[in-house]
Amino acid sequence: MAKALQQEDELDGFGKPSVQDFLQGFQIIKQGAEAKIYRVTFLGRPTIVKARFSKSYRHPALDKKLTHRRTAQEVRSILRCRKAGISTPVVYFVDYNSNSIYLEDLVGSVSVRDYITSTWQEKKETVSLYPLAEKIGQILAKMHDQNVIHGDLTTSNILLQKPEDEQSLVMIDFGLSFISALPEDKGVDLYVLEKAFLSTHPNTESVFEVILKSYSASSKTSGPVIKKLDEVRQRGRKRSMVG
């Protein structure tokens, strides 16, 4: 079987174009610590390709194993969310040889980050953002009830598919996600969002409080999670005081 896989890899250079060759003709729209993001057309559809790259400081065998595991976990988290009724981009194709995920490109969508910023600049008040915050809390509760920990919750990683519809929320970028039933992990997930939310959107503390109230009312296990969130907050304050 190993020989067959080797022959298949060799064919990428001679018999068929590799993923890297395919992506060369497209523009990188973002590059993070883990992957390059491309906007392409795949099977006639607008598509986002997330292509993980190797880390030169890691042993090649370990790097291959870890990169494959992260790719598989990201896809697993997306599919688990979709099964629970949480909107995410559709997964069109996964190439585990290159650790590339082909995802639906939500053309015309805006990030919740940009939406909150523009709404604040226009109205200078937060009450109009409460329905959006309530919906965010409901989605996070549903996600955590499925034991999906996002790992990178920010308002940049939540999209409004239709900017005029605050209910059309889509969760994206599950690259750091994992599966856990521990209240500690869920509390940390919320703490990451809180820190990102309040640093990105000053004067919106009341909006985040609505998110938490909605989460608490919607999640089946919110009690222990909110308790852990308070503990994580206290640890964060102590670290800040120590410097």
Is residue 212 predicted with pLDDT exceeding 60? yes
Is-catalytic flag, 105? no
DSSP 124: -
> How far is the C-alpha of 151 from the C-alpha of 185, rounded, in Å?
9
pTM assigned to the model: 0.87
Structural fold of domain 110-237: Transferase(Phosphotransferase); domain 1 (1.10.510)
pLDDT tens for 155-181 read 999 999 988 887 899 999 999 999 999
CA distance 18 to 76: 24
| Banded model confidence at residue 18, pLDDT cuts 50, 70, 90 | low
Q: What is the C-alpha to C-alpha distance for residues 149 and 180, in angstroms, rounded to an integer?
A: 7
Mean pLDDT, the chain, integer: 90
pLDDT tens-place string over residues 35-46: 999 999 999 999
How many degrees, rounded to 5, is the angle at CA 192 between CA 185 and CA 230?
A: 65
* Banded model confidence at residue 77, pLDDT cuts 50, 70, 90: very high
For a pLDDT cut of 90, what percent of the chain falls above it?
A: 76
Residue 95: is its pLDDT beyond 70?
Answer: yes
Domain boundaries, the chain: 19-104, 110-237
Closest by CA position to 66, among listed 180, 223, 168, 175: 175
Strands (E) in the chain, as ranges, are 28-31, 35-42, 45-52, 91-95, 100-104, 110-111, 148-149, 158-160, 169-171, 178-179
As a whole number of Å, the CA-based R_g of the chain is: 20
CATH topology of domain 19-104: Phosphorylase Kinase; domain 1 (3.30.200)
pLDDT at 102 over 80: yes
Closest of 131, 134, 79, 128 to residue 101, by C-alpha: 79
Q: What percent of the chain has pLDDT over 70?
A: 88
Three-class DSSP category at 238: helix
Rounded to whole angstroms, how far apart are CA atoms 93 and 179? 22
Q: Which pLDDT belongs to residue 8?
A: 40
- The mean-pLDDT minimum among 138-147, 188-197, 228-237 falls in 228-237
List 105, 152, 173, 189, catalytic entry = 152
Among 197, 184, 193, CA closest to 235: 184
Q: Which residue has the tokens 């040889």?
A: 97
HSE at residue 181, side-chain half, CA atoms within 13 A, is 1
pLDDT of residue 7: 38
Do β-strands 35-42 and 45-52 pair in parallel, antiparallel, or remain unpaired?
antiparallel
